[in-house]
Amino acid sequence: MGMDVYGNAPISERGQYFRNNVWWWHPLWTYCESLAPELIPGNNLGHSNDGWGLNRRKARSLADKLAAAIASGHARAYAEKYEQRRRSLPLEPCDICAGTGHRANPPEIGPGPLLCNGCKGAGKVQAFESHYPFCVENVAEFEAFLRDCGGFQIC
């Protein structure tokens, strides 16, 4: 599953298409939202694939904002703080076996006789939030797309 971002009027190959899987997309878009609230209103639909997007002028402005954030070190500092938090998230009890390490016969869930395939018997799993990565390189790739896309739609 992923988010496909299509350029409306690309002026280069890199402006035609940008793709992130959902794990990468949500943190990237959240960063864009936090960086450019004057371009991306709070009620935008950028986190779903409903065709929401920005026009050419706003896409270019967002590219400039991202480029400035990379140049100033803001993106790097954000990424470090983000990853530090992500790594520090505590493990959570496994839903499939209710934290016991042994599950009921599928499709039933809850405690039972089988070694749990959700947590490999540990009873705990990584926090859901920890599956969403963020890095400066991904910001730079999106910035390059934005600069040449001529506006975009998120599908």
Looking at 3, 32, 94, 136, which residue binds Zn ion (CB under 5 A)?
94
Of 112 and 118, the one with the shorter C-beta distance to Zn ion is 118
Distance, CA of 69 to CA of 117 (rounded, Å): 42
Residue 119 near Zn ion by CB under 5 A: yes
Distance, CA of 143 to CA of 149 (rounded, Å): 10
Distance, CA of 143 to CA of 138 (rounded, Å): 9
Residue 69 near Zn ion by CB under 5 A: no
Distance, CA of 65 to CA of 140 (rounded, Å): 11
Residue 66 near Zn ion by CB under 5 A: no
Tokens of 65: 């904002």
Q: How far is the CB of 78 from Zn ion (least distance, A)?
A: 33
Q: Which stretch binds Zn ion (CB under 5 A): 83-91, 113-121, 126-134, 136-144?
A: 113-121
Residue 35 near Zn ion by CB under 5 A: no
Residue 118 near Zn ion by CB under 5 A: yes
Residue 97 near Zn ion by CB under 5 A: yes
Looking at 32, 35, 62, 96, which residue binds Zn ion (CB under 5 A)?
96
Q: Which residues of the shown chain bind Zn ion in the complex (CB under 5 A)?
A: 94, 96-97, 116, 118-119
